[in-house]
Amino acid sequence: MRGIIACTCLFVAFAALPSRSAVVADTMATHQYCGNSIPPDEALGWVALPEGDVFCPLLADPKATHSYVAYVRGTSTSPFGTDLASFGIGDRFALVRWGGPRPGSGVQIDLEGSVFGQLDVNTQSHDLINADYVLGLPVTYRWRMISARLRAYHQSSHLGDEFVLRSRIPRENFAFESGEALLSVDGGPVRVYAGGEYVIHSFPIDLAHWIAHGGIELRQGASAFRLGSFATMRLVAAADVKSVQYINWEIAYSGVAGFEFSRPHAGGHASRNWSVLGQYYYGPSPYGQFFRSDVTYYGVGLHFAL
């Protein structure tokens, strides 16, 4: 499976080489890497409740703030099911942005929230296994191809009632607060990012620890394929890696590849992107109190980016 993801990434890298006209067009516009450009009338100066963001969302991070529905199948050393319906509901509310000195650059403050859940599709009532609630306050920054995100966030996780009753697992509220810093560089079709976070407090395990985080993304040029006036389509692929000190720096790998769609820009205001992505994950479970258990899963989903 890792070989398939690697081949897919190489394919997207070659397909993503932009044409000469695309390069010229991009140099005349605001930042276009993630297709979520800032409107020209909001590109400079102080803007309250702005549109867009100066930091592109992460494609392969399982806990990135976005909405999705997916079917995944896999194995786990925990009582987790092997056939799951996975879903997420997330949104970001932009509070303020100081744009400049170039269009698309600046500093922005947001408020974001997400809920991620997993349903066991092998049960009659599709039992809820686990739900993770995330609330964050990100501060993002961009200058040319360099962007960064500082974020303080809280996560709490809760097991589903039906799952607890049939599995006899002791119900345990799991929560933590963490501070995160990420630095990202993008140019043409390629983006790389790296950073980490420090868990300040966790319950019931009150043990602070570090998390290393990095990844790479490949996005085809903005003018990839046009489906009339309905949408434009491009190929995307990404790999995300995390390593947690508390579990002996064991590495978690997450990969996605597929097609991203967006409405053709009208008047400089971009629509939210949506995508169909195949996904693969290997490593410690990203789901709540199951973080000590190793899990491997693969599947396909419909994703909606901010």
Burial class for 103, CB neighbours closer than 10 Å (0-12, 13-18, 19+): middle
Beta strand pairing call for 106-120 and 128-143: antiparallel
Burial class for 88, CB neighbours closer than 10 Å (0-12, 13-18, 19+): buried
Q: Which position has the token pair 């066991």?
A: 120
- How many Cβ atoms from other residues are within 10 Å of residue 138's Cβ? 20
Q: Which residue has the higher pLDDT, 40 or 80?
A: 40
Q: Which residue has the higher pLDDT, 47 or 23?
A: 47
Query: Taking 90 as the threshold, does the pLDDT of residue 88 lie above it?
Result: yes
Q: How confident is the model at residue 63 (pLDDT cuts 50, 70, 90)?
A: very high
Domains of the chain, with CATH numbers?
2-304 (2.40.160.40)
Query: Taking 90 as the threshold, does the pLDDT of residue 14 lie above it?
Result: no
Q: What is the pLDDT of residues 65-79, one digit of tens each?
A: 999 999 999 887 666
pLDDT, position 266: 54
Q: What is the pLDDT of residues 160-214, one digit of tens each?
A: 888 888 777 777 778 999 999 999 999 889 999 999 999 999 887 777 789 999 9
pLDDT, position 26: 38
Q: What is the mean pLDDT of the chain?
A: 84
Report the DSSP beta bridge partners of residue 133: 115, 156
**DSSP label at residue 38:** P
Query: Taking 60 as the threshold, does the pLDDT of residue 13 lie above it?
Result: no
Q: Where are the beta strands (DSSP E) in 17-105?
A: 45-48, 67-76, 83-99
Task: From 67, 59, 117, 124, select the one nearest 278 (Cα to Cα).
Answer: 59
pLDDT, position 270: 59
For 116-141, what is the mean pLDDT? 93
Answering whether pTM is above 0.85, one says yes
